[in-house]
Chains A and B, each alone.
Chain A
Amino acid sequence: MLPYFKLAFRNIFRFKRRTFITFFATSFGLALLIITIALMNGIDKDSISNIINCQTSHIKIFKQGYFDRRNDFPMDLTIRDPQRYYPALLQIPGVRAVESRILFGATLIKGADELPCLGVAVETDRDPDIFNIKEAILAGDWLQAGDSMILVGNDLAKDMGLAVGDSLTLRMITANEKENFNWNAMDIEVKGIFESGNPTVDGGRIIIPMAVAREGLSLPSQATEIVLRLASDDDKLIDAVKARSEALLNGSSSRFEARSWKELASDFLAVSEMKTKNSSIIIFIMLLIASVGIVNTMLMTVMERTREIGMLAAMGMKKREIMTLFICEGGFIGLIGSFLGCVIGGLTSWYLEVRGFSITSWGETMSRMSEAIYPVKGVFYADLTFSVLLMVFVFGMAIALLASAYPARKAANMDPIKALRHI
């Protein structure tokens, strides 16, 4: 095998310009593939992190039937005295923190301006153990239990022209009626503005202490959900805790339903899956271009070296060995192209992992469009792993070997007499 390797390696540099173009096509395709995968992984990772840390945590427990009607904020499906379940829930292995919240429809009114938003009533002492809003305070302070104030998302504050210390009117959908909603309104002060990095949260949420919300919503001891934070994002742990907590709260009845973050963020995951499928088509086209480059180079090589192939056959080289020689040449093109692709793609992805890719520089429209799809704001960060590099490298090699199989077979099946006569 060694002489064929040596000959194959020398042969790929016989036509330097063509080889360079093939290397370029292969490495460019593979580098793009790495960058695309790294960016998609990074966006997914940041999106999931933002969803878990700002919106869903790991598990939410609702009153049975609430989840299906969650977009209507059904105040008739609340959990009474949720605190009584905390000790038992905290006993479940893997559960790190628990709190209860009320989600309600609201409108912010300041002068002639009014904007609808989602109100989130939190237990101010427990919420920081579960969500990252406290860490994301941009101006002002985190809420205290006795405060009659709110926190506003930065984008929402900008839209309303709000600053810390401003007073406004908060209109809340109350729990009094099942279908005919009534409103309750209160004047309230902005204590802080937060910037979580999740556009849905920053552009459409206010945070309010539980006691204030309960008073406004006429829910003396209820909450719409109990939120669990676990020790890790591991799917198996989440499924186990979800089943255990449901069993624990329900006993033999079915009063409660637990939902994992994946169920709560099913819309995003569906979009993400569709995006992966679409990206796969783009990646397939990229690799097709790279493999066509290799096939073309190898076919040209076989044509140009017809007489040499005849000479090798005359010297006693068998069909299998001629095929091996040409597959080795394709393999070397794949090896070098894949290596260069991994270096270029790896370095670019590393840069995008550290510095990020700013979508805002593409204009406001692009920025808004991306925020509508991904719960990530402004800058996309890549997430490159060694397994991606390894997978792309092996993939590049496999494509090169497959692409050179046909030209190699063509070379091996040449009639040596005709090949020797070839001009």
Chain B
Amino acid sequence: MPVIRFENISKTYHTGKVDFPALTRVSFAVDQGEFLSIAGPSGSGKTTILNIIGCLDKPTSGTFFFDDQDAGARSGNELADTRRRHIGFIFQTFNLIPVLSAYENVEFPLLMKGDLGPRERREQIEQILFDVGLEDFINRRPAEMSGGQQQRVAIARALVKQPKLILADEPTANLDSQTGKEILKLMSEMNKKTGATFVFSTHDQMVMDQAGRLIRLKDGVIVSDETRE
């Protein structure tokens, strides 16, 4: 059963008197555990797809299924609940909370979810920070860490609540190539280890090469959808 399913989805943005079609009749499905890259030039619709998958935006027409349920029929609070429980986000600019330490940033989604006791929470956070190689940086605040380290914290924050889906918007764009490679390798390892589905947008060829499946977009239309070994 696919985690994500797009059925004939179109999205049009209205800017003043001009309508801008961001997606046109896009259909695809993503199974649990896939490591999918959505690639394309600027304005091709990558971020729009990520926003719809992340339950942050709704299509103009067509149906988006998350976990086999029509996300369009859900209220704002229900969509917030879906994001809180089932979706982890990794942002291009890391977007960590500057006043919290690495440990507290990773703890925050667990506190929001609110279903773990303090001991279980602590174990889970320490394990994920160990997995991303930051066991010695747990008390550091974002300003005291490098870009690569911050992105590792962001990955740990996205994964700690054991979501079904991780969405990453150009996760390596703000990193040097070596750090970018390391982050991508880490995401791939976590994909295999946790079984979470990873969907990330990119226009970096190195990232595309690492993806298990690559969907290419142009002008809001899928131009290719290839699965690699």
Contacts and interface: CB of A to CB of B under 8 A. Distances in A.
Contacts, number: 57
B48 to A, nearest CB: 9
A11 B107 CA distance: 17
A294 B45 CA distance: 41
Given A3-B111, A14-B99, A417-B51, A314 B56 contact: yes
A3 B112 contact: yes
A315 B99 contact: no
Interface string B16-58: 0000000000000000000000000000000000010010110
B83 A316 contact: yes
Interface stretch (A28-36, A305-313, A350-358): A305-313
Majority SS of interface residues in chain A?
Answer: helix
Nearest to A319: B76
A415 to B, nearest CB: 9
B164 interface: no
Contacts of A319: 76
A6 B100 CA distance: 9
A247 interface: no
A420 interface: yes
Interface stretch (B87-95, B202-210, B219-227): B87-95
Given A307-B95, A308-B95, A417-B51, A316 B100 contact: no
B111 A311 contact: no
A410 to B, nearest CB: 17
Contacts of B109: 315-316
Contact of A311 (B51, B76, B82, B89): B89
A139 interface: no
Interface residues of A, number: 21
B111 A2 contact: yes
B218 interface: no
B138 interface: no
Contacts of B107: 3
Nearest to B57: A417
B181 interface: no
B81 interface: yes
Nearest to B169: A420
B95 A311 contact: yes
A10 interface: yes
Contacts of B108: 3, 7, 315
Contacts of A307: 93, 95
Contacts of A313: 56, 80
Interface string A397-417: 000000000000000000011
A218 B201 CA distance: 111
Given A3-B108, A14-B98, A417-B57, A315 B89 contact: yes
A3 B114 CA distance: 10
Interface string B107-140: 1110110000000000000000000000000000
Contacts of A311: 89, 91, 95
B97 interface: yes
B112 A7 contact: no
Contacts of A373: none
30 contacts: A7-B99, A7-B100, A7-B108, A11-B99, A14-B98, A14-B99, A307-B93, A307-B95, A308-B95, A311-B89, A311-B95, A313-B56, A313-B80, A314-B83, A315-B84, A315-B108, A316-B81, A316-B83, A316-B84, A316-B85, A316-B109, A316-B112, A317-B80, A317-B112, A318-B77, A318-B80, A319-B76, A416-B56, A417-B51, A420-B95
